[in-house]
Amino acid sequence: MTTIAARIQRSLTSQILNGELPPGHKLDEQALAARFGVSRTPIREALRELGARGLIDLVPHRGGIVAQIGLDELSDMLDAECELEGLCARLASQRMTSLEKGALQECHHQAKDLIGDRDETRYLEINQTFHDLICDGAHNATLAGMTRDLRARLAPFRQTQSDAEGRRLARSHEEHEQIVQAILRSDPIAAYDAMCRHNARLSSGVLNLLRKGNAKD
């Protein structure tokens, strides 16, 4: 997905979750293109992504309709992803090679450079790499595949976190620091706990936002 389409997708996701775009609301391609000042191509990309995540029901050649988001199902998915990635971190702390740990450190350092610039798009790309490195470091293809699938489905929800104080990226990086240090010292319990705390905070924010959105209906 292009950068423009990703920006549009994040904006629409946020509006769906906070209730600005309620279930049943029609998303017209032409109207969205005019609103965002772009052609229909990135609009279609963004809508396809929203459809793949179950946020809208696609209408061929026209746009989409905002779907009803199941709070219980989403809560189950967030809980499962939290546990799975915590397990990945635990295994990574025991199984990562020195080379893999070095790559994780370098990725973490690259992310730090983006915080001052508040380059959210690039940070999210580095963030994806960071979590992928931990999945790979678990050296369990089944577990890594399950975790990646859930992360991909939940990414649009997680990326709607509020950043009113400009602290979102910095806080994420601070939590990543705890994960990295636990993995580097081969501490499986600390690695598991740090990853679970990180994901639990993000999940709580997503669910609170969705509950507020549902309360507006």
Q: How does pLDDT run across 107-121, given as a tens digit for each residue?
A: 999 998 888 777 777
Determine whether 90 is exposed, middle or buried from the number of CB atoms within 10 Å of its CB (0-12, 13-18, 19+): buried
CATH code of 59's domain: 1.10.10.10
On whether both 108 and 205 belong to a single domain, the answer is yes
Whether residue 167 is predicted with pLDDT greater than 50 in this model: the reply is yes
Q: Are residues 118 and 137 in the same domain?
A: yes
My answer on whether 16 and 62 are in the same domain is: yes
Residue 84 and residue 46 in one domain? no
- Over residues 116-141, the mean pLDDT reads 90
Residues 187 and 211 in one domain: yes
Mean pLDDT of 130-136: 97
* Same domain? 105 vs 206: yes
The whole-number pLDDT of residue 143 equals 97
Same domain, 78 and 51: no
Q: Please compute the mean of the pLDDT values over residues 181-200 and round it to a whole number.
A: 97
Q: Which helix (H) or strand (E) holds 154?
A: helix 141-158
Of 66, 92, 109, the last residue of a domain is 66
Q: What is the number of structural domains in the chain?
A: 2
pLDDT over threshold 80, residue 195: yes
What secondary structure letter does DSSP report for 22? -
Name the residue among 215, 210, 178, 152 with its Cα closest to residue 14. Answer: 210
**Does residue 96 sit in helix, strand or coil?**
coil
Can you give the residue range of the structural domain that contains 92? 71-215
How far CA 69 is from CA of 55, 95, 213, in Å, comes to 7, 38, 10
Judgement on whether residues 87 and 187 belong to the same structural domain of the protein: yes
Look at residues 66, 90, 117 and tell me which one is the last residue of a structural domain. Answer: 66
Of 42, 66, 90, which residue sits at a domain end? 66
Residue 164 clears pLDDT 50, i.e. is over it: no
**Co-location of 30 and 13 in the same domain:** yes
Phi, psi (deg, nearest 5) at residue 56: -140, 160
Q: What percent of the chain has pLDDT over 90?
A: 58
Q: Is 36 exposed, middle or buried (0-12, 13-18, 19+ CB in 10 A)?
A: middle
Q: Report the distance separating Cα 198 and Cα 181, nearest Å.
A: 14
Does residue 216 surpass a pLDDT of 70? no
Nearest to 83 by CA among 182, 171, 197, 181: 197
31 and 109 both lie in a single domain: no
Beta bridge partners of 28: 63
Q: Are residues 105 and 56 in the same domain?
A: no
Distance of CA 108 to CAs 95, 122, 174, 175, Å? 19, 13, 10, 11
* pLDDT tens digits for range 14-28: 888 777 888 899 999
CATH number of the domain that 201 lies in?
1.20.120.530
- Both 44 and 60 in one domain: the answer is yes
Q: Are 40 and 33 in contact (CB under 8 A)?
A: yes
